[in-house]
Amino acid sequence: MSPLGTGALGRVVRSGVGRRRVQTVVIAVATMMAVAAAVVAGSLIVATNAPFDHAFARQNGAHLTAQFDPAKVSTAQLEDTGRLDGVTASAGPYPSTTLSPVDAYGGHLPKLSVVGRFDPHGDVDDLDLRSGRWAEQTGEIVLSASFEGPALGIGSELGVSDADGSPTLKIVGFAASAGETADAWTTPDQAVALAARSDSPVTSQMLYRFDSAATGGQLAADRRTLAAAVPSGSLLGTQSYLDTKRAADQGAAATIPFMVAFGVLGIVMSVIIVSSTVSGAVGTSLRRIGVLKAIGFTPREIVRAYVAQALIPAGAGIALGVGLGNLLAAPLLADTGQVYGGVSLSVAWWVNLVVPAVALLVVGGAALVPALRAARLRTVESLAVGRAPRTGRGQWAHRAFGRLPLPRAVSYGLASPFAHPVRTTAMLLAVAFGTIAATFAVGLTSSLNAVGRAADPEERAPVTAVVGAPTANGPAANPPETQAPPTDPAQIRAAIEAHPGTASYYGLAQADATVAGLPKSVRTTLYQGDSGPGSYEMISGHWLTDAGQAVVPTRFLERTGTRIGDTVRVTLGKETRTLHIVGEAFDTSNDGLSLHTDLTSFPATSLQVFHIEVKPDVTPTTYATELAASVRPLGGDAMANAPSEGENTILLLDAIAVLLTLMLVSVAGLGVLNSVVLDTRERVHDLGVCKALGMSPRQTVTLVLSSVATIGLLGGLIGVPAGHALHGLVLPVMGHAAGTNLPPSVLDVYDAPRLTLLTLTGITIALLGAVLPSGWAAKSRTATALRTE
């Protein structure tokens, strides 16, 4: 037997769904929105773990990437380590070295770790060759897929160094390693030859998989096993896949809290609206329920009929919501997939099953309570009462508002909600949650945009002057062979000071430093001059003001166990200094392992760029052109900086937040629409009496709109503080998921004018939801209304 019933019961269900078109649409849209938000949130939650795990498993990624000294351990001994207890697979040894290449214009690229392999396949770290082919002969190289772009493509050439007569390497392919075992690959003979031309010696790389490698403690034990199996001092270092996984998962993890917030809002609103809709259907169908009972319908069949009338449109909404959720999740998952070297991601199949199942349970539970109320109604009482409201309900409100110096249509409308307190409460909650969503979305998008503005402070400078040959960021004005050799940064600085359009400037250099207590190198940025215009947003403490100071990110403090006021010992080149931590910066670069200090702390470091502020009457393009003409003969260059277009991920999150908010607000408006439709139909006889006494259509519209104005105002007054609080709860969680605290500029995005306007959101939602029913009430014929009971 069908759960919706057959025969008479089926006809009752179909009739109810067909007659109550507004309620049917409201339930369908509410469930569609809730399911769509839940599918997106669920797919992103899975994405924080699944893509790396899938890519890593597909490539048989290395749990440990180990570097050995070939002078202290033989190839046979390294191959024997692959047969140690606990080792399930191994690959290597591969010759490995580091390379500091230059592009076709002489610009220095980041230092690359290069490994010699005959092919991309292996028992461990089976590489994904994304484009091109593998390096097969001397002079060819394959780069990590993360380097592929307009500046570097297949066929591009890289110089081994900037020395005269240095050989070049042709890029023949791009590959992805889930475990990031190297930045580039070439033939084994080529790797050895590259080491001979650089200061970096050849090491032997071994890749291992273990039967116990789920935690850092297990990997530490595996490392000790390796170290014990080879001659002392031959194991130079290891890299854990857990560090790579954490850094990769971090990008998507920050999006989860706000998606969960929208999903919860959608589910709560759907419960409120479905319960209100079914309750309204029961309240306006008392006579019909009485008739059904009189002709033999049992209480159980009444419950089934009203629950089914909610489940049918909900089922349609759920189906649409699953499709919409998959559509909305696709761009976010595609962006997340780029973090894992282009791993193809899609919504997990079980998300598309679990979310609809939960949604059906929620809708069924929300509809069950009013359906049980319908089943408990006495037949005689239902037939006698019909659909008119109880006598005297809300009369005190009419008397109270009638004493106010307001037009009668307005005072009548303001008192109307008190006739149905349950329905009014549901309407109030719908408006409040719609306002919460709008308030939260405004704060979220403002915070995300603030994050985008704070991410790259160096981009704020209108003009940048570089010391030495131009980098890969742009081509040089002349071919490398005709460019002047690099000069002392002091000469570039003198040219900047001599230009009449210079307002202020500061110099900057970057280098890798060693910090006591950290196993990995720390990207250190050194400043000369007034670096205030290029300072990072401060979470706590202050920016650099004197020599010997350091400003560091949140993760640096966590990894070193330090806080503001402590000192750290930093070694850069041959210089070692003890620096005093004076500030915590909003800086997520280099996985949070960065340090900012004054150049006077390490005076042997050479400046690399100057960031320049120009005077108000000077255009950056003109200034850069004039300065470039002065510094190019000295071996430098200058360029105007284009305004930042913002991070694609931030723009995408903004769009998703706006779309979900529009859905929530629309559903809130539909909830108001449903309640006002029920109210106006219920009071159609009263409206007919008012029209007979001279009420004009405009006054009728005013009456209906007034009946929701107070609800809208109260909903706004409730929703704005709640949305503000939700923002204050979710944003820090997003920051912690990204590995950082957040500065005040990201958190404190609400001001008094903005909050005032957001309060009006509740009134706007209520009035928009009541516009159509007010028009219907104004157009109804007086005689028809008077004949309706």
Domain count of the fold of the chain: 4
Alpha carbons within 13 angstroms on the beta-carbon side of residue 742 total 25
At 125, list the tokens: 């770290």
Give the model's confidence band at 3: pLDDT under 50 very low, under 70 low, under 90 confident, else very high: very low
Euclidean distance between CA atoms 511 and 94, whole angstroms: 28
Same domain? 539 vs 612: yes
Domain membership flag for residue 351: yes
**Residue 223 domain-assigned (yes or no):** no
Please indicate whether residue 218 or residue 375 has the higher confidence score (pLDDT). 218
Residue 70 lies in a domain: no
Provide the pLDDT for residue 311: 83
Q: What SS3 class is residue 545?
A: coil
Rounded Cα–Cα distance for residues 49 and 541 (Å): 35
DSSP class per residue in 381-401: HHHHHTTSPPTTTTHHHHHHH
> Which residues share a beta bridge with 239?
65
Q: Are 127 and 166 in contact (CB under 8 A)?
A: no
Q: What is the pLDDT of residues 638-667, one digit of tens each?
A: 888 765 544 556 776 777 778 778 877 887
- Same domain for 269 and 156, yes or no, is no
Helix/strand/coil (H/E/C) assignment for every residue in 659-671: HHHHHHHHHHHHH
Of 610, 640, 670, the one marking the end of a domain is 640
Residue 76 is assigned to a structural domain of this protein: no
Q: Looking at the domain assignment, is residue 78 inside a domain?
A: no
Asked whether residue 505 falls in the same domain as residue 614, the answer is: yes
Average pLDDT over the chain reads 79
* Residue 272 CB-density burial (10 A; 0-12 exposed, 13-18 middle, 19+ buried): buried
Res. 574: pLDDT tops 60: yes
**Most confident range, picked from 205-214, 301-310, 383-392, 399-408:** 205-214
247 plus 372 within the same structural domain: yes
Q: How far apart are CA 179 and CA 238, in angstroms?
A: 12
Residues 713 and 761 in one domain: yes
Q: Classify residue 73 by its DSSP letter.
A: S
What are the pLDDT digits (tens) for 457-488? Answer: 766 788 888 886 443 333 333 333 333 444 67
Two structure tokens written together for 416: 């109307």
Residues 529 and 656 in one domain: no
Structural domain for 382, as ranges: 1-63+243-387
- Last residue of one domain, picked from the residues 369, 387, 405: 387
Task: Write down the pLDDT at residue 783.
Answer: 55
Domain assignment of residue 235, yes or no? no
| 622 and 657 housed in the same domain | no
Same domain for 702 and 736, yes or no, is: yes
673 and 618 share one domain: no
CA angle 211, 215, 216 (to 5 degrees): 115
Among 387, 406, 421, the domain boundary falls at: 387
The model's pLDDT over 692-722, given as tens digits with 9 standing for 90+, comes to 766 777 877 788 888 888 888 999 999 999 9
* Domain-located, residue 551: yes
pLDDT, position 472: 32
Residues 128 and 162 in one domain: yes
Decide which of 334 and 597 is more confident: 597
The better pLDDT of the pair 143, 243 is held by: 143
633 and 547 in a common domain: yes
Are 491 and 621 within one domain?
yes
DSSP 8-state assignment for residue 102: B
